[in-house]
Amino acid sequence: MPSAGEVEQFAYCAHNWWLARAGRDGHDAGSERGVEEHRHLQEAQHLVERRQRDYRDGMRWSFRILMAATSGTFLTLEVLYLRAHPLHFVFLTTALLLTSLSAALLAIALFARRDADRLEDEHGFVHGEVQDQAWLGGQPLRDPEWGLSGKPDYVVETEAGVVPVEVKTGMTPRTPFPSHRLQVACYLRLLEANGAPLAGHGMLTYPEGVFQVAWDDGTQADLRATLERMAAAQAEGRADRDHGHVGRCRGCARRRFCDQSLA
């Protein structure tokens, strides 16, 4: 069962994918930098999740305490003007303290929201309610029907539904690379197969741009065709270079192992 990363690798270059399956190590300075950048991304993502939870909890408790303070104020007024109870100062002081606590929690919540927005902007996150990774089960998603596995960098919840997001740390293209689009397509299919209410698209974020990948008939057909080509290559026992781009070979991490390189 190929992973979404393998689908992206195959779409980039089928022979590169085959060399990876053969155990040819593709680690270089660029790939190590990518791993490190993704580690920082995950840390930032978890921080955004915490800030969003702080915001939700702060708003929830702020309004609860404000309701209690309002009730206490009305009780104080009732006691003061209708019964002249000697403890009305205690009731009033309690109400004022609750109101102050509510205001403090509201300020903390708004600060957490602002901090989450700042982190999203700094790291190119797609704005929305970041879903806790526990929602993904902690393990890669699986789709036996299409024979896929994988897990997106993160998932955001919007009014239209959930959106898988893949973050790329390299150069920003004018339009998304086809291999990257297929990787997002894998996540869309995996989420759909696992019952997620899709928004109908996924997102690709680069350092200087964000692109949408529609989950339409064309994208689904491209993904199915790629999976069929991968299955055929496995059955045949080989996969040759399927492109004529010198630059792609020049930037390939497995170029030193490749007998079909153009560079």
pTM of the model: 0.67
Q: Quote the pLDDT of residue 213.
A: 95
Pairing of strands 141-143, 148-150: antiparallel
Q: First-to-last CA distance in the chain? A: 32
For residue 152, give the H/E element and its range: none
For residue 210, give the H/E element and its range: strand 209-214
pLDDT in tens, the chain (263 residues): 889 999 999 999 998 888 888 877 655 544 555 555 556 665 666 666 667 667 667 777 666 666 666 666 665 665 555 555 566 666 667 766 777 777 776 777 777 777 766 766 665 555 566 665 545 556 789 999 999 999 888 888 888 889 998 888 778 888 999 999 999 999 999 999 999 999 999 989 887 888 999 999 999 999 999 999 999 999 998 888 888 888 888 878 788 888 888 87
**What phi, psi does 194 have (nearest 5°)?**
-100, 20
Q: Quote the pLDDT of residue 116.
A: 67
Nearest to 6 by CA among 142, 181, 183, 228: 183
Q: Quote the pLDDT of residue 134.
A: 45
DSSP 116-139: HHHHHHHHTPPSSEEPPGGGGTTS
